[in-house]
Structure 1
Amino acid sequence: MSKQTVIFDFDGVINSYTSRWQGADIIPDPPVEGIKEAITEVRKHYRVVVVSSRCYKPGGIEAIKAWLKKYEIQVDDVTDEKPPAVVIFDDRAITFDGNTTGMLDKIKAFKPWNKK
């Protein structure tokens, strides 16, 4: 039986993204503290796939793969297609709880972890 998939967003989850967007193939920042160890642990139980907005731009997938190699972070795939997954780690996500009330307010109030 194959492992189920966990998706990780790249910027703000794996890459610390402190320099903000500089282009799909420009990734100057180091990893988020502890992410290498966390991904290593997750990979013992799940297939880890990186999906990023960078992947939709020329050179983006290659840049992410090179960055991961530089920091010796092993994942199972980097892609521009969101595969079926058990869960997604993303710094810009709101978990839908089945309640549609107040969705606009949640969007307006949202701040990523590194902007609070």
Structure 2
Amino acid sequence: MARTVVLDFDGVIHSYTSKWQGVDVIPDPPVAGIKEAIQDIRRQYKVVVVSTRCFQEGGLEAVKAWLDRHEIAVDDVLAHKPPAIVYVDDRALTFDGDTKSLLHKIKTFKTWQDR
């Protein structure tokens, strides 16, 4: 079985510049260069897309349709994070073992779009 890389949908693949507009409303274009990056990653890894949209009725279908419309090929789309070698998410912190600064990092966190 191929090793898996998990990519979050909103903010990593879908540029999400319009922010949340509904489970099946995905109005924005892909993040620049993400299609090509995913193609490169898929040469060595299984690529799974996850989205909290998929927990709601119509969300899974909407994400798959958006990926198809933008001709972005992935290996699977899920609501939950499967085991993986790495998770790519625009709203994540890498835990570095420093518990003393964790609250500060949470309070001052910004996505790449907010910087």
Q: TM-score, normalised by structure 1?
A: 0.97
Q: Which residue of 2 aligns with 1:22?
A: 21
Give the root-mean-square deviation of aligned CA atoms. 0.6
Is 1:63 the counterpart of 2:62? The answer is yes
Q: Secondary structure at the match of 2:107?
A: helix
Q: Which residue of 2 aligns with 1:110?
A: 109
Q: Secondary structure at the match of 2:5?
A: strand
Structure 1 portions without partners, runs of 5+: none
Give the letter aligned to residue 36 of structure 1: K
Q: After TM superposition, give the deviation of residue 82 of structure 1 in Å.
A: 1.2
Q: Which residue of 1 aligns with 2:48?
A: 49
Q: Which residue of 1 aligns with 2:8?
A: 9
Give the letter aligned to residue 110 of structure 1: F
Answer whether contact 2:51 2:80 (CA < 8 A) is retained. Answer: no
How many pairs align?
A: 115
* Structure 2 Cα separation of the partners of residues 94 and 31 of structure 1: 22
Is 1:31 the counterpart of 2:30? The answer is yes
* Structure 1 Cα separation of the partners of residues 65 and 57 of structure 2: 14
Could you list the per-position Cα deviations for residues 19-74 of structure 1 after superposition, in whole angstroms to 9, with x for gaps in the alignment?
Answer: 11001100000000000000000000000001111111111110000000000000
Give the letter aligned to residue 26 of structure 1: V
* Structure 1 Cα separation of the partners of residues 26 and 14 of structure 2: 8
Identity of matched residues, %: 63
Q: TM-score, normalised by structure 2?
A: 0.98
Matches within 5 A, 1:84-99: 84-99=83-98
* Structure 2 Cα separation of the partners of residues 48 and 70 of structure 1: 18
* Structure 2 Cα separation of the partners of residues 87 and 101 of structure 1: 24
